[in-house]
Amino acid sequence: MNIENFLNLEAKYDLLNIEYKGFKYWQYIRFTLYSHLKIMENQLEKNEVVEYSKYNPLRYKSLIKNIKKIPWLNEINNDILFIPSIPANSKNRESFITPLYKEIQKSHIVLEQNPLLFINLFENTITGVDLWIVNKSLQLLLLTKIKNEFKKITYRIAKLIRKELDIKIDINYLSELISRSYLIWKIGSKYYKYLLKRINPKVIIEVCYYSYTNMIINEVSKELNIPTIELQHGVMGPDHISYNFKIKSRYGTFPDNIFTFSKYWNDTTRFPIENVKEIGFPFLENQVNYYTKNNNSKRNKKVILFISQWAYSNQLSNLAIDLYEYLKKINNTNYRIIYRLHPGDDLHSSKLKKLLSYKSKIEISKPTKPIYEDLNKSSVQISVNSTAVYEGFAFELITLIYNISDSKNMQDLIDLGYATYINSSEQIIENISKNNDRKKIKTENFWKKNALNNMIKEIDAIIDMELLS
């Protein structure tokens, strides 16, 4: 199965517009379902469970502590509502909204989707519904009843998947996915409609629209005529299911506007809307200026940086080890290898246990350290399809793509001459030696300049348009 098969399926049967009691279930489950189907066909490795999705009693304690931030009665009018997305173990990721949050002159407030993750990151905040708690608290009471309600829908979807994709999906998995999504939507939509009426924002700015919270808020916002903007947070392109659609339409869960890093992403992604603006990435722009102009860390042409990813940490770490052994075998001591961990990586897991035994030979860089420090001191980067590869272009690195599952997502970069596929350690060294023949990287192809000014200008225009309507 590939993305085209999946897009054809949902377009053929108009699945994106089918609803049950107002719940357009396909829009809510498509990302998770697509990922699950890819895993079933061994086209995608199951990611390790992220820390914040596991049971943690502190989530309840934190929610109770922050309950006073919920505006039950008072109106707290603000021009802008920010909804950041911050993975566990990576507080640096607030960078997607931080420059704008600090510089925007309009009144603004930040929604804490999960209080445990947002402690001390932002000043003016309110608490959202921790949908994990909602799900865990109510599923024992209501899930069986809801499953029965969705029984016919579940069997129909399973039948279509079998017919069109030739995949036999587990009925219990599909039933749980649809039923839990409905439960979350039912509770979340009521709460967020109430909340948005109290905040009364002129615009909502979010990161990662396909989280349940953001999809619910996007749908409610359309009812209340509040425009929404998503800031690009990672790789989009032709193979990201959340951003590619066969038919253009104003889907309820999709944001009204998308701000991308550059025209490259606009041209390679089949967005369902026309309001897509190339803006840039303010935080990256600041970091590049800092590390290339004001930092004493100088680039070493012999440093090879491996950029890990959840799904491919086993393959990438083994390649890094193999490269070390290959260099040792040919008696080449000119290279230094850095393995940059992903925020979701567990160095003591079975995937990375072997790498840990090489810690005296391969430098292991922890995700708590800014990745830009590693990018700045390297001249070569190796990964599969990480967003960080594009950040590496801002530092003009030689880019090598490990040609394994899902590396085809980077085919455009290969075709444009900005990166090269490799399959072995020998090819790594061979391509580094040929770096003089590679295409000179134009940073602005991937990162539009003056990002913060671009962003503020477009936000002002959207707010002004709403005021005139």
Kindly report the backbone phi and psi dihedral angles of residue 280, in degrees, each rounded to the nearest multiple of 5, phi listed first: 110, -175
> Which residues, in sequence order, are CB contacts of 397 under 8 Å at separation 6+?
305, 375, 378, 379, 380, 381
- Out of 105-109, 203-207, 209-213, 378-382, least confident range: 105-109
pLDDT tens digits for 315-342? 999 999 999 999 999 998 889 999 999 9
**Percent of the chain topping pLDDT 70:** 81
pLDDT at 87 over 50: no
pLDDT of 456 over the 50 cut: yes
48 pLDDT higher than 80: no
Contact 151, 205 (CB under 8 A): no
CATH C-level class of 287-445: alpha beta
Tokens 């961990």 label which residue? 341
Starting at the edge strand found earlier in the chain, the sheet holding 228-231 runs 125-127, 108-112, 80-83, 203-207, 228-231, 257-260, 276-278
- pLDDT score at 72: 56
Q: What is the mean predicted confidence (pLDDT) over 161-173?
A: 95
* pLDDT digits 0-9 by tens, 344-374: 888 888 889 899 999 999 999 998 888 999 9
User: What residues does CATH 3.40.50.2000 cover in the chain?
Assistant: 287-445
**For residue 88, what pLDDT is reported?**
40
For residue 130, pLDDT over 50 is answered with yes
Instruction: Give strand pairing partners of 260.
Output: 278
pLDDT at residue 139 is higher than 70: no
Q: Are 298 and 377 in contact (CB under 8 A)?
A: yes
As given in the structure block, the two tokens for residue 76 are: 């707290």
> Residue 438 burial (CB < 10 Å; 0-12/13-18/19+)?
middle
Q: How far apart are CA 111 and CA 227, in angstroms?
A: 16
Global pTM exceeds 0.85: no
